[in-house]
Structure 1
Amino acid sequence: MARILITGSTDGIGKATAAQLLDDGHQVAVHARTAARLQAVRDLTDRGAEVVVGDLARIEEVRDLAEQANRLGRFDAVIHNAATMTGRTVLPVNVVAPYLLTAAVERPARLIYLSSGMHRGGRADLAGIDWAGTRSTGSYSDSKLFLTAFTAAVARRWPDTIAHAVDPGWVPTRMGGAGAPDDLDLAHVTQVWLATSDGPEALASGGYWFHQRLQGTHPAVHDERFQDELLRSLAAHTGVGLAP
């Protein structure tokens, strides 16, 4: 049995991931943006899921969320599922929050970050980026490129931690829209597998996956200079560096 924390787990892919892990006998902690949203996971908490609460767009709430997670005890895996598609909070939610949680939560054995095939259209340019979200300086594609590069940086800097990025597909969730063409039933399968499998592929860190198959990435993802620039920029914004 593994202990697994999943961000953004009150609906969509995150909730499906939590439900599957509970079905498989694992211990799960779900995350809600606000206490009011916990009603949406009542079915999971009734089955024993623990909870953490915090708005990922607000950096002080992310810090508090990390403290809540640490009070629950060390996790075997953390799945960074939460994301937003548009608006000024794209960079705070999609990049800053996973960075800060990675740096501040007691290091698990496995880290999984939800990316997107749209990361390939992102710009590997940090000039003028406003991580605080006071103005819109990055697109969804940019945010997923930054997150995927961050995943590769974690895999490189923390060789004793398994880190993967996952493209769940364009699926009909609240964020993806009703017309999304990919299969919602498959969207959580890869991250469940990566969080729990002892197979050699799941244990080989640094992959970018789509439906349990390795895929190619934007060239900047594995550019170590870009990774280091990204880490320096996020550390300067948050005041928290990624430990060696």
Structure 2
Amino acid sequence: MARVFVTGSADGLGLAVARTLSDEGHEVVVHARSRERLEAVAALLERGAAAVVGDLSDPDQTRAVAEQVNELGPMDAVIHNAGVYSGALVLPVNVVAPYLLTALIRRPARLVYLSSGMHQGGRPDLRGRDWTGRRVTASYSDSKLFVTALAAAVARRWPEVCSNAVDPGWVPTKMGGPGAPDDLRLGHLTQEWLATGDDPRARTSGGYWHHQELLDPHPAVRDEQF
């Protein structure tokens, strides 16, 4: 059984992933933005899950989250699930936080980054971006292009780690809305599979996945200079 840290696991896909992994007997470390939000994962905590707390829009709190994770011991996998859809915090939460956590958490065997099919509409241009969250300089699509490129870069730089990006589809979560047409179970199956699966395909690296199938990402993802 694996020890897996899931960011943004107080609701949506992150909570679904944490519940499924716990049901399967894995050791889960959940994450909430604040102590008040831990109420959403109370059932998981009662079953033995560990918890870390910190607002991923704040770099100092993100560093503190990494410290809390490292204090718990090495992780087998980290699923970078937390994200926001719009506003000035898109870059801090969707890109800067996964970058900082990747750099600061003791290196696991597997890394999974939540992308989106919308990354195909992202702009491969880093000029003029405000990474602090003080003003809007990037769209959700831009942020998902950046984090997909991050997953590919980690795969190249750390060949001993399986690093992959996942498009979960448009699923009925708080972010996706109740009318989202895709299957919620399929929306988190691939993350779990890449984090803990024994399938040889789940032990590969550098992929962009949708429902356990490899897809071609935006060309910039394979551009090492970008």
TM-score, structure 1 normalization: 0.92
SS in structure 1 at match of 2:225: helix
C-alpha displacement of 1:198: 2.0
The question of 1:77 aligning with 2:77 is answered: yes
- Distance in structure 2 (CA, Å) of the matches to 1:44 and 1:168: 23
The question of 1:11 aligning with 2:11 is answered: yes
- Distance in structure 1 (CA, Å) of the matches to 2:86 and 2:139: 7
- Distance in structure 2 (CA, Å) of the matches to 1:174 and 1:107: 31
The residue that corresponds to 1:147 in the other structure is 147
- Count of equivalent residues: 226
The residue that corresponds to 2:91 in the other structure is 91
The residue that corresponds to 1:177 in the other structure is 177
The residue that corresponds to 1:41 in the other structure is 41
- Percent identical: 65
The residue that corresponds to 1:132 in the other structure is 132
SS in structure 1 at match of 2:145: helix
Runs of 4+ with deviation above 2 angstroms: none
C-alpha displacement of 1:178: 1.2
1:46-81 per-position Cα deviation (integer Å, ceiling 9, x unaligned): 111100000000111001010000000000000000
The question of 1:167 aligning with 2:154 is answered: no
- Distance in structure 1 (CA, Å) of the matches to 2:10 and 2:191: 17
- Distance in structure 2 (CA, Å) of the matches to 1:177 and 1:188: 16
Letter in 2 for 1:7: T
SS in structure 2 at match of 1:191: helix
C-alpha displacement of 1:82: 0.3
SS in structure 2 at match of 1:29: strand
- Which consecutive residues of structure 1, in runs of 5 or more, have no partner in the other structure? 227-244
1:179-228 per-position Cα deviation (integer Å, ceiling 9, x unaligned): 111111211100111111122111111111000000111000000000xx
Letter in 2 for 1:56: L
C-alpha displacement of 1:153: 0.1
- Distance in structure 2 (CA, Å) of the matches to 1:57 and 1:113: 17
SS in structure 1 at match of 2:40: helix
SS in structure 2 at match of 1:224: coil
- Distance in structure 2 (CA, Å) of the matches to 1:128 and 1:11: 32
- Distance in structure 1 (CA, Å) of the matches to 2:41 and 2:65: 17
- Distance in structure 2 (CA, Å) of the matches to 1:52 and 1:18: 13
The residue that corresponds to 1:51 in the other structure is 51
The question of 1:190 aligning with 2:194 is answered: no
Spell out the pairing of 1:96-111 with structure 2 (5 A cutoff): 96-111=96-111
Letter in 1 for 2:114: L
